[in-house]
Structure 1
Amino acid sequence: MSDKAPTIARVARGVLLVAAVLVALFVLFGQLMAVLPVAWLSPLQIVALATSGMRDRLGAWNIVLAVAAIAVGVITLRRGGRRRLPVTVSAMSGTALLLVVITTAVQVFTVHGETGQWFPLSPTVPGSAVGRAPDTTVTYATLDGQPMKADLYLPKTSSAAPLVVSIHGGGFIGGSRGRTPYTSWLADNEYAVLDVDYRLASATVHTWNTADADVACAMTWATTHATEYRLDMGRVATFGGSAGGNLAVNVAYKVNAGILTPSCGTTAQLPRVKTAIGSYPVVDMTDSTTEGSFGRQVANWYVGGLADQYPQRFRAVDSADQISPAAPPTLLVQGSADHLVYADHTKAFADQLTAAGVANRYVEIPFLDHGFDSSALNIGTLATRTLLLPWLQEHLA
């Protein structure tokens, strides 16, 4: 037994060290993804997005991981044995911890400056934080033989509620309606939410001219069922992230300009959109679809090719080309370390709105990547929620 004890101890230390190495590498790599220029990492786009997505979901818990890895390195050093690996683990973890503390502090102070709220430790509990199931799921149309579904989240109020049309992301080639940190939360704050599906693109079916029409189709369904579900169609907003952000902006601008024909119903049934909200929206399809392998796939599937092949199609999907005096006030929330939709594109679009006299607000949250608010109640999600309510209250009053 006495001979086995040291062996078991060495094995345990080895396992802990390996775990600490993996944790230290994850935290350090995630922080490097946050602080290095996004253009440098375009060849590693998918790896960067996957690592950063986990980093953003964990939020402040990255600090805990770095501290734990440091502790393992220090304890192993004190126990004796080979010193090179424990010293390496401690050095990597210490560097990662320093970067996490700096990036988290900058995020907290930036968000406080934008919202007036402090979110020092978020998410409070790591993991998913999506809301409740929808009150009902409806089929708003059948298009190309495909039933088109929408989830409806309803507030507990007897009066007609303003409607937020929620549009999912997924690069126009994936994704679907589903619970998010906003759907039932908005309903709890007295907004009805219609979370819609739309036809997706594939290698052979290009939906650049049907996706926005499908969202408009769902809006005509809402108009015809407004009395049944107590929807105030005089107070309508569009809201989405990524590809859904593109559609939220484009649908609102085209509907208000009277140039969007819905894929069901009539243009007379389309409500005027009072505000559009986009999180990390793909407002510049022309440039975004040339930055990384995923962007090129989106261009080939959604539009059918690149901008030099189909300039007219890209003019139909680029949001800047939809700006008109009828464009509603627009809120844009963007992560600065977005490896899929570069923050420069979203900021440039906001500047174009300002130049055109369209009311807008652009908020950039440091070090966050694409899809930062997809599930967890991290600082990006909490900041977006905090921005959303007063914006909706102002423009859907």
Structure 2
Amino acid sequence: MPEEPPKPARRGWLLPALAALLLLLALAAAWLLFFDRQPSFLPALVLRTFPLHVLALSLLAVVVLLLALRKRRWRTTIAAAVAVALSAATGLVPTIITREQASRAGAEVSLGTYLANAAHLNLGSPEQGRTVRYASPGGHGLDLDVWPSADPGSGKAMLLIHGGGWASGNRSMTPEWNRLLTGLGYTVFDIEYRMVRDTPPGTAWQATVADSRCALAWITAHAAEYRVDPNRISVMGQSAGGHLSLMTAYTAGTDAFRPSCDLPDGKIKSVVDFYGPYDLPAFATGPDGTDTGRAILNDVLGGSAQQQPDRYRAFSPSSYLRGGLPPTLIVQGERDFLMPQSQARMLDEGLTKAGVPHQALFLPYADHGFDANWGSYQTQLARSAVTRFLAEHG
């Protein structure tokens, strides 16, 4: 009998399927980083916070590419090569651009610092061993955590106000900032305040500022106990905390939003604002506003900007802009679509016109809450900016 011709070798489906999957993931990552504009969309938020992690996808794609070349699977090779290029660009472009910005600013950023924090989030919980009760407005107990200065004789203090849309969050929520600040010689008072869930509907906007003002008054009253110079108290916060930092500093010494405790008013030496809103009517009604942001403001202020125009104006730092305000540092991500950079640019322009000393740092490819990654190049640059600003104005 004649011999049967040899059967063609089975080429298999696993390698091309893996290449296709990696290509899809690379396309999704590139879309989220470069084109997506959804506010606080978790996949985009994670990607912008940890961009270099995408290079793990690049490494997998390189392995598939080499196997496809070895087996001469040309379509698979092309798919894997595109996946390598897209994922590498997604991971490296934000890093390269931020490194260039840091170089222009004379700041140092390092891959080692990124890698050392690759699996670590700058997120924390209240630390009961540090906790002190500072007020009880309406019977609602309010606590703060005291982080002692590494240099108790410096006299410097930082009032730190957490974010969370005036509806969530906790004291000591960003512990790495507290550790940095204590290392710079600051005694940090990381406070809580009444939020939406703690107040009657439509009144949180008043309580949040009154409590922050109360915390400032409490620190001032207890300055000797904590070896703090009452003339060297600064304030810092992120998101809603950034807004409250501006409100605390800009309304201090005025009749607006009196402290929620019966203590003499304090004063602020300087302000550090991370991606906080500045002009709420403009945000709520302007082209950069989002449904998510408007819903948050609706809960805090008890209605829309059309329904409660006076409240929106009163709750806006822009309403208190004037000459003589404390020096201000603005830190804003350019890919932040929950709190668009237009708000920070309005603040920057307003402070310039008012003649208030200030600095503004706009970070490429940084989203809302980018400093949750303590080692990211954007956070490293922000840390340098905060350090330099406080060295001059703290």
Question: Aligning the two structures, in what range does the TM-score lie when normalised by the shorter sequence?
Answer: 0.7 to 0.9
Offset at residue 354 of structure 1 (A): 0.6
Q: Note if contact 1:163-1:191 (Cα within 8 Å) is conserved in structure 2.
A: yes
1:273 corresponds, among 268, 274, 283, to 268
SS in 1 for 2:229: strand
* 2:315 partner letter: V
SS in 2 for 1:67: helix
Distance in 2 of aligned mates of 1:163 and 1:111 = 27
* 1:286 partner letter: P
Q: Note if contact 2:95-2:377 (Cα within 8 Å) is conserved in structure 1.
A: no
Distance in 2 of aligned mates of 1:19 and 1:179 = 37
Q: CA RMSD in A?
A: 2.9
Q: Note if contact 1:241-1:279 (Cα within 8 Å) is conserved in structure 2.
A: yes
Deviations 1:341-379 (A, max 9, x none): 111221121111111111111111111111111243211
Offset at residue 244 of structure 1 (A): 0.7
1:206 corresponds, among 203, 208, 212, to 203
The TM-score, its normalising length taken from structure 2, stands at 0.86
* 2:108 partner letter: Q
Distance in 1 of aligned mates of 2:373 and 2:142 = 24
Q: Percent identity?
A: 25
Offset at residue 143 of structure 1 (A): 2.8
Offset at residue 89 of structure 1 (A): 4.5
Q: Which residue of 2 aligns with 1:3?
A: none
Distance in 1 of aligned mates of 2:295 and 2:326 = 31
Pair 201,115 (structure 1): closer, same or farther in 2 beyond 3 Å: farther
Q: Which residue of 2 aligns with 1:308?
A: 306
Unaligned runs of 5+ in 2: 1-8
Offset at residue 251 of structure 1 (A): 0.8
2:26 corresponds, among 7, 24, 27, to 24
SS in 2 for 1:277: strand
* 1:128 partner letter: H
Unaligned runs of 5+ in 1: 1-5
Q: Which residue of 1 aligns with 2:236?
A: 239
Q: Note if contact 2:151-2:186 (Cα within 8 Å) is conserved in structure 1.
A: no
Q: Which residue of 2 aligns with 1:67?
A: 58
Q: Note if contact 1:332-1:362 (Cα within 8 Å) is conserved in structure 2.
A: yes
Is it true that 1:228 corresponds to 2:225 in the alignment?
Answer: yes
Distance in 1 of aligned mates of 2:17 and 2:262 = 62
Deviations 1:87-133 (A, max 9, x none): 43532441232344333211111122234334456512312254998
Q: Which residue of 2 aligns with 1:356?
A: 354
Pair 366,276 (structure 1): closer, same or farther in 2 beyond 3 Å: same
* 1:53 partner letter: L
Deviations 1:62-84 (A, max 9, x none): 3x224224214314523649765
Offset at residue 389 of structure 1 (A): 1.7
Offset at residue 205 of structure 1 (A): 4.6
2:97 corresponds, among 106, 109, 118, to 106
1:368 corresponds, among 333, 341, 366, to 366
Q: Which residue of 2 aligns with 1:172?
A: 166
Distance in 2 of aligned mates of 1:158 and 1:346 = 34
The TM-score, its normalising length taken from structure 1, stands at 0.85
Q: Note if contact 2:280-2:313 (Cα within 8 Å) is conserved in structure 1.
A: no
Distance in 1 of aligned mates of 2:230 and 2:95 = 41
| Structure with bigger gyration radius | 2
Distance in 2 of aligned mates of 1:224 and 1:334 = 33
* 2:145 partner letter: D
Pair 128,288 (structure 1): closer, same or farther in 2 beyond 3 Å: farther
Distance in 2 of aligned mates of 1:363 and 1:378 = 15
SS in 2 for 1:219: helix
